[in-house]
Every structure is written in C-alpha cells, then in structure tokens.
Structure 1
C-alpha cells in the first residue's frame, strides 16, 4: 500500500466513505464520495486541498485546475469556484490556511519575500512524500483526541513549512503579505463580499483598494480569473441559491435580497451559472443532497 493510499483509507474510515467531516483538529476537514459529483458552486477561502483517492476539477472564471493523488490544490484568496469530483471513490481533505501562522513561520525560516506582483489565487502543486507523511500524522491524531492539542500544531507547522519550500511557496508568502498589490486586491474582494447586494462601481471599488480603475481590473482578473463584476455576480447567485435551498425563499424574493432588481435578469443569470432555472435546480439539489457535502 502506498502512503497516499493509506491516507485515503484513513479519510474513508473517519467519514464512513461518503460525506464531510469537520474534525476536532482546528482548520482540518475531511471529505469522501462513492460516486462522481455534479458541479457544485462554492466560495473557496485560503486552503490546502489534497485528494488522496480519485480526482477533482475546480473552475475559477475561465481557469481549470485538476488535482489528484499526485497534485494538491492551493487557494490563496477568497474566490467563488465551480468544483466537481470527476473520479471516484473519492477521498480528500482541506486544511484552512491561517495567515498569522504563515507569517510567523516565514519570519522564522527566512522563506523569502512575497511576490512583487499578484499571482493567480488558485494553483496546483506537486504533492511530495514529505507532505503526505506530515498530513497522515495529522489525520491519525483523530484516533487519539487527548494528543490533538499538543501534537496537531506541530504537524500543521511542518505541513506549512513543506508548502513554503515547495513549488507553490510564493503563493503562501502572498497570503501572509501585509502590503503590496495583493493586499489591495484582498481589500477589494473583502468589500465585494461584505457589500455584494449593493450596486458595484469600479471607480469606487478602485478608490477603496487605493488603485486606479485600470490597475484594479487588470490585477483583480489576474488573481481571481474574473472581473470584479463577475466576482460579485457569482457571490450574489451563490447566496440566492442558499436562500432558496436553506430558507425556503421563492426565487423572486431571493433575487431581490441579493441585489437584483429584475426577476427576469436574475432567472437568466441563475440559469447560466447553475445550468437550470431556480425551481428545477433546487429540486435537483434536494434529490441529491450529498452533492452539497463534497469539497
């Protein structure tokens, strides 16, 4: 049995082979599925995502990323994506990235400066034997809960160290950067997330980010693979879908709640993103709820 197969077996044991588990280890979640999934639309936050069995693809804007037991996914920003499990059985994990832990480790290890210019916020890197070993030791701590408080931070620190020294280390340094273009783009992203129901003025957003409108548009798309308006639209539509599914809102009310003035425009854009009008889409989700649980 290979090391990555052993990690997959652990994940399947703790999840029961199907579903999601937010573990007792801070920032660590496990996922498993017995079948490939339909596309799911979620907001990713900075995280390391590892597939130990099967494969998955993630689309951000027009950029497609595929990861599997040989390649991990690194996310350095908050960004709406479309994800799909393409090969099953599937076993994966997500370790949310803490910028404070990263910043402290960068200072201690002299990992180098953050990139001068923003890099795309999602990328695929090579999964090494050392990373698999550290991640397996972290997951195994679920078998000994009394050890988690003392030993999980050590394993997490090693994982972050391996990432910083690996082929996507520059993206991690970008997460911890306190200034520069990436900081400005993150300021724009945060504003859109907090004010997605409001009309979006590129000029006003550029002022918030302390950039010119042209620089904002250029660097925002470079990082997220979409324009600020496209980013806002995906945030709005994902929230509207949640309102309809979880709070039983009707489509018109949900559209109005997220900032749409025209029901027809809302229905048209909803169908374009999710592949079906609201009523049919929600009926499909309720018939296959496991789709929503797979990271």
Structure 2
C-alpha cells in the first residue's frame, strides 16, 4: 500500500472517530504546536502528513510523513508539531503480543544491545499495507472480530523484525537488559512518591548498581532519578488540572518535600507556574 492511500483512509475516518479501533488513534492538527509533555507507553506513531519533534531525555528525534516512531518502554517525552497540516496514526504496542512471537523469531532476536527505547525508521510497504487493512476494519465490525486479532499480530510481527525493532527483539527475552529496565520502570511507576535507592532498584531487577544505571540511561536516554522527576511532574499536573488538589497538596502527593522546589521544577518543565495550571483546571 502507498502512503497516499493510507492518508485517504485516515481522512475518511477521522471525521467520524478519532479512535477507529480500541488500540488505534488518529491525531490531527491544523497548525504547528508548542511543546507538550506526556507519558508515551509502548506505541507506534506513523506520521501521514506534517512533521513532529520528540525529545526524550537527552535524545531529540524529528520525523515526517512516511516515518515511524517506535516506543518500546514507558517514556516521559516532550513533543511538538513542527509542520502542519499534521495527521498521524498511533497504534498501541502490546508487549505481551510481542513476547508471544518469541518462538517464531527466536534466532534473529539477539542483536539489539545498543537499541534505544525510541527508534525511528521509514515505514516499509508491508507495514503500511497491514496498517491499512487494520484501519479498514473500522467500517466492518463483523470482520474486525475475526480478522482484527490476526492483522494486529501481523503488525506486531512486522515491527518485531523491522530494522528499528531491535529493542522489541530484546524485550522478548526475559533475561535481557531491556526486560530488566522495563521491570524497573514498572517499579518506579508503581511508587513515584518514595525516593529511589539505586542499589535496591538494581537488586530487584537482578543487576549491579553500575550496570543498572548504565543500561537505564542507554535505553531511556535519561537517569532513573530524572525519570522519576518527570513522572512526578506529569502526575502533579494531572492532579492540578482535574481540580482535586492545591499546589502544595499536589507537590506532597507526588513525593516532593518542598513546595518551593516543586514550583521551580514545575515551571521549568511546563513553562508556567503550577498555580496557573491550577487556575486553568478550575476554569
């Protein structure tokens, strides 16, 4: 399938639904945007029109029409649309499905120690075709029940064996560094309030402290402490914007011991003081 055909499909669907399938999202912007902070869980983002810039720790990626961003781990990111009109197809990546494919790709799965949790590549015709067939099921609910799981598995397989699928290939091994860091991320996300003790976190995932720190930064482009800070600030913003917490309460709820330090780091991260987001949330 050509990219133009996939664009036509997406444009036809987006007027009716931004989420044509449970794990598939269409995202559109008519103008460039400022930086927006968010948490990306494992996902494939294929740009159909326009261009986007994504910053992940010390790594900055820029990609445009026909290019894919594949994210294999939960990552705090800052992103902005740099060229519009912008249209993107976003597919949730199911790591469990990836792992079930282990037996079918086992011999080719051991080549990815230098891969990162966010990788770019141009989408090949096979992947575009599979995504197009999956998108088409939005208009065929009966077919979607039977064919949806099959096409989803095909898409995951194509991502797994693609040139930018190195981190996914590493994740299917439970004894890999990628799997250890994924478990560590799960532990950090499970308790963002408690201070991180690197030796203890490393022990929990079966690594030495020095090896853990090295591989965490290689994979995520950031340190465990910075990663936790990003999560804390994102959660604090959510609390403020939903109107359920004061600035001080939000700071303490996510693990800060100093409200003034929280306010400084919040403003540095989001460009506005937390009190402004509190006001916006209340409005």
Corresponding position of 1:233: 229
Shift of 1:109: 4.6
Stretch of structure 1 that moved more, 69-78 or 234-243: 69-78
Paired residue secondary structure (2:34): coil
TM-score, normalised on structure 1? 0.88
* CA deviation profile, 1:167-218 (whole Å, cap 9, x unmatched): 1132221232222222221121111101111111112212222222211111
Stretch of structure 1 that moved more, 97-106 or 208-217: 97-106
Paired residue secondary structure (2:91): strand
Shift of 1:38: 2.0
Change beyond 3 A, Cα 1:176–1:27: farther
Shift of 1:267: 0.3
Distance 2:4 2:280 in 1: 33
Match of 1:38 among 34, 41, 55: 34
Stretch of structure 1 that moved more, 198-207 or 160-169: 160-169
Distance 1:106 1:200 in 2: 33
Q: Does the CA contact (< 8 Å) of 1:10 and 1:140 recur in 2?
A: yes
Corresponding position of 1:7: 6
Q: Does the CA contact (< 8 Å) of 1:60 and 1:80 recur in 2?
A: yes
Paired residue secondary structure (2:187): helix
Distance 2:23 2:107 in 1: 23
Alignment of 1:203-214 (within 5 A): 203-214=199-210
Q: Does the CA contact (< 8 Å) of 1:118 and 1:182 recur in 2?
A: no
Paired residue secondary structure (1:81): strand
Distance 1:242 1:97 in 2: 24
Distance 1:120 1:127 in 2: 18
Q: Does the CA contact (< 8 Å) of 1:57 and 1:67 recur in 2?
A: yes
Change beyond 3 A, Cα 1:250–1:286: closer
Distance 2:282 2:29 in 1: 17
Is 1:21 the counterpart of 2:18? The answer is yes
Distance 2:75 2:217 in 1: 11
After the TM superposition, which parts of structure 1 deviate over 6 Å for at least 4 consecutive aligned residues?
284-287
Q: Does the CA contact (< 8 Å) of 1:240 and 1:254 recur in 2?
A: yes
Corresponding position of 1:163: 159
For structure 2, the residue ranges without an aligned partner over 5 or more in a row are none
Paired residue secondary structure (1:254): helix
Alignment of 1:40-189 (within 5 A): 40-110=36-106, 112-115=108-111, 117=113, 119-189=115-185
Corresponding position of 1:254: 250
Shift of 1:92: 1.0
TM-score, normalised on structure 2? 0.92
Shift of 1:118: 5.7
Paired residue secondary structure (2:189): helix
Change beyond 3 A, Cα 1:111–1:158: farther
Stretch of structure 1 that moved more, 52-61 or 33-42: 33-42
Shift of 1:281: 4.3
Distance 1:242 1:144 in 2: 36
Shift of 1:70: 2.7
Aligned positions, number: 283
